[in-house]
């Protein structure tokens, strides 16, 4: 018997990385999944983003857990497109209980040199896209009379980071959004929380552009050259966590075990926030 039996979860950024891990892990606990992803490139992002083939693989993995999944391509910057995928999924499954506002991007530049379009894309996806997700989902949760919204922030949502002013601003911003929604929606028994990972072993950070940004002293740095600077960010002597570590925290926050937990920032960060 799963901890999320009979529930339906909506996940943005579900094609790969943390989003895929969340979809599979929640399916293992009995949830059916509504999965959305942009499945196309973003001009200001210096690494390949997810594809339609990646989203199809998420579908395959969820179905392998003997759970149902409805998937669609949507950019979180486009409210009507995102709402369309969600509404169609709810029509298919008949309910919505869990919302994971997970979609996000990474790019980097000094604040005074950052192109306007890089700042705008970050805020539009990592902050406004989260608001779009909650805006589309809240009426369905109100109809159910309760539910759980979980927003993916970051360790950078609790502290600053050089060359990531736009990312830190967005990830701090979703904490303010979470706290406001937690108060607004508490009378309807809708819980709202953020999770704050340290570095996670996904394609978003495991790529040549990020390696080069963190190790500009090396020519063609690779994954092994990334270990030392990543470890230095954390209190525990490890460079990163796995997507499943974040998924397990999300299962807890989505389950009845956390039925009275709302308005919190939940770090899964190897002690980064305490350092």
Q: Catalytic residue positions?
A: 167
CA-CA distance, 28 to 22, in Å (whole number)? 10
Sheet holding 265-268, edge to edge: 69-73, 32-37, 8-12, 98-101, 147-152, 190-197, 265-268
Compute the Cα dihedral for 30, 127, 43, 213 and give only its sign: negative
Contacts of 184 (CB under 8 A, 6+ apart): none
* 205 closest CA partner among 189, 221, 185: 221
Per DSSP, the three-state class of 190 is: strand
* 87 closest CA partner among 127, 22, 140: 140
114 contacts 78 by C-beta, under 8 angstroms: no
């Amino acid at each position: 018997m799963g901890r999320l039996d009979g529930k339906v979860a909506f996940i943005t950024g579900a094609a790969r990385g943390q989003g895929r891990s969340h979809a599979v892990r929640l399916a293992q606990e009995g949830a059916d999944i509504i999965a959305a992803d942009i499945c196309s490139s973003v001009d200001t992002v210096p690494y390949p983003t997810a594809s339609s083939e990646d989203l199809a693989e998420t579908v395959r993995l969820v179905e392998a857990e003997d759970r149902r999944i409805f998937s669609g391509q949507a950019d979180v910057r486009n409210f009507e497109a995102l709402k369309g995928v969600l509404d169609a999924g709810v029509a298919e499954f008949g309910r919505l209980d869990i919302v994971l506002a997970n979609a996000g991007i990474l790019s980097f530049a000094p604040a005074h040199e950052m192109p306007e379009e890089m700042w705008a894309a970050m805020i539009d996806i990592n902050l406004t896209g989260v608001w779009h997700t909650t805006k589309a989902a809240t009426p369905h949760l109100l109809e159910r009379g309760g539910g759980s919204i979980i927003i993916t922030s970051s360790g950078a949502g609790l502290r600053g980071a050089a060359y990531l002013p736009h990312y830190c601003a967005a990830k701090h911003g979703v904490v303010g959004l979470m706290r406001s929604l937690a108060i607004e929606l508490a009378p309807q028994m809708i819980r709202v929380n953020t999770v704050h990972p340290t570095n996670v072993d996904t394609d978003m950070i495991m790529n040549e552009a990020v390696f080069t940004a963190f190790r500009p002293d090396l020519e063609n740095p690779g994954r092994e050259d990334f270990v030392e600077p990543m470890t230095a960010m954390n209190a525990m002597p490890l460079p990163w966590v796995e997507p499943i570590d974040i998924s397990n925290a999300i299962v807890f926050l989505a389950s009845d075990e956390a039925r009275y937990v709302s308005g919190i920032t939940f770090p899964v960060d190897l002690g980064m926030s305490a350092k």
